[in-house]
Amino acid sequence: MHIFAKTLAIEPYLDKELIMKPVIAIIVGSDSDLPVIQETINILEELGIPFEITIGSAHRTPDRVAEYISTASERGIKVIIAAAGGAAHLPGVVASKTILPVIGVPIDNSPLNGLDSLYSIVQMPGGIPVATMAIGRAGAQNAGIFAAQIIALSEPEVSQRLMDYRRRMAESVKSKADKLSEIGIKKYIETKTNR
């Protein structure tokens, strides 16, 4: 199995077990999903949560997906993020193979701009849930945050990092509002479009 496991250098006050082993697994249906799922990776890196990531397709490599997911719990994985586009059955198939919580990210790379992926992921029949995020980059970002929130239930340090993240987000909105009232709407829009 080719699993790209990435363990991040994080501050020593985190639980040793958490530092050493990935606790979140990300699986994408294709390498073409990776640019969107980069948003998930950014969040997990910012919050210092170790994760692993792999590519596995529910229709092109169903056996590989089954094997990868059935051993996730043994590896110490607590949450799985599954991202796919088009007729996106990957998150549902992943959820069928584990009782770990599965977060689904609908990728917007299809002619239907991800609406097909959203419906495929969100409309799971009763019995096998998938926590479905928004389509595309915002969904990928929220998948990372939501997974971190699950980890935070048993890791107070992760909880603190999530609160710090929210504080930084609020500060960034405030500084934008301050800049807007300082330079006015025309200049503000100019600075945004010149970026």
When binding is defined by CB under 6 A, the residue of 81, 107, 150, 158 that contacts ligand RP5 is 107
Q: What are phi and psi of 138, to 5 degrees?
A: -65, -40
By the rule CB under 6 A, 54 interacts with ligand RP5: no
Task: Report the alpha-carbon distance of residue 69 to residue 128 in Å, rounded.
Answer: 15
**How many CA atoms, within 13 angstroms, populate the side-chain half-sphere of residue 37?**
25
Identify the residue whose tokens are 């977060």: 103
For residue 173, the surrounding DSSP H or E stretch is: helix 156-193
Tokens of 166: 């929210």
Size of the site for ligand RP5 (CB under 6 A): 10
In the range 76-105, which residues lie near ligand RP5 by CB under 6 A? Answer: 84-86
DSSP one-letter code for 81: E
Of residues 49 and 117, the one with the C-beta less far from ligand RP5? 117
Task: Tell whether residue 57 is a contact of ligand RP5 (CB under 6 A).
Answer: yes
What's the min distance (Å) between Cβ of 129 and ligand RP5?
20
Site for ligand RP5 in 28-47 (CB under 6 A): 29-30, 32-33
Nearer CB in complex with ligand RP5: 86/136: 86
When CB distances to ligand RP5 are compared, the closest residue is: 29
Whole-angstrom Cα distance, residue 136 to residue 117?
A: 10
The footprint of ligand RP5 (CB under 6 A) covers: 29-30, 32-33, 57, 84-86, 107, 109
